[in-house]
């Protein structure tokens, strides 16, 4: 799908994210790090994510959380305000229970890097999607994920990363290497 918003750096992830709802056996549980008016409604949109039963969205800014909640009146959304560092809360979750983890958190590059490094250490099975992946420090932080597909259709890149073997991507491709 060609989203006009692809030219908006804040929305450039929608193109790739809109293609992932049916991946593997269908994305059922989403963990979103960094709530917003783009990704949160997309995960709740049954046209793109028809199998979703729960979106757990972690947000550090309570005022922003109220805005996103108002925009997304949906019982499947669990929007949780958590002070940074986010990893302290992530330690309480079973990350493998999420089919997809979307990383778009924080107002701070350094904190985002810590989150990416943490996920690299602990994730085993989830598909992890990183926004803003054109930044080399984010790429370096994600080294523990051996498999990546990097979407460069927008200057603001988005990457899918995972461990383990090949996955079916849009039912067409079987990938187990870095594709750029």
Ligand X SMILES: C[S@@+](CC[C@H](N)C(=O)[O-])C[C@H]1O[C@@H](n2cnc3c(N)ncnc32)[C@H](O)[C@@H]1O
Query: For binding to ligand X (CB under 6 A), which residues are involved?
Result: 34-39, 59-61, 64, 104-105, 107
Which C-beta is closer to ligand X: that of 64 or that of 169? 64
| Minimal distance, residue 23 CB to ligand X, in Å | 19
Residue with tokens 């250490």: 121
| Minimal distance, residue 96 CB to ligand X, in Å | 22
SS3 state of residue 78: strand
Which C-beta is closer to ligand X: that of 35 or that of 141? 35
Which residue's beta carbon is nearest to the bound ligand X?
Answer: 36
| Minimal distance, residue 6 CB to ligand X, in Å | 13
Which C-beta is closer to ligand X: that of 61 or that of 175? 61
Strand partners, 167: 175
């Amino acid at each position: 799908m060609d989203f006009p918003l692809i030219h908006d750096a804040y929305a450039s992830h929608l193109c790739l994210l809109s293609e992932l709802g049916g991946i593997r056996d269908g994305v059922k549980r989403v963990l979103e790090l960094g709530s917003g008016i783009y990704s949160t409604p997309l995960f709740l949109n049954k046209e793109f994510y028809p199998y979703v039963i729960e979106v757990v969205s972690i947000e550090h800014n309570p005022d922003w959380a109220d805005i996103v909640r108002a925009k997304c009146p949906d019982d499947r959304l669990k929007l949780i305000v958590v002070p940074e560092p986010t990893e302290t809360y992530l330690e309480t979750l079973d990350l493998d229970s999420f089919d997809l983890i979307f990383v778009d958190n924080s107002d701070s590059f350094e904190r985002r890097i810590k989150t990416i490094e943490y996920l690299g250490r602990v994730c085993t099975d989830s598909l992890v999607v990183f926004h803003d992946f054109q930044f080399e420090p984010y790429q370096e932080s994600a080294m523990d994920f051996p498999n990546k597909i990097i979407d460069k259709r927008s200057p603001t890149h988005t990457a899918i990363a995972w461990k383990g073997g090949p996955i079916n991507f849009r039912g067409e491709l079987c990938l187990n290497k870095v594709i750029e």
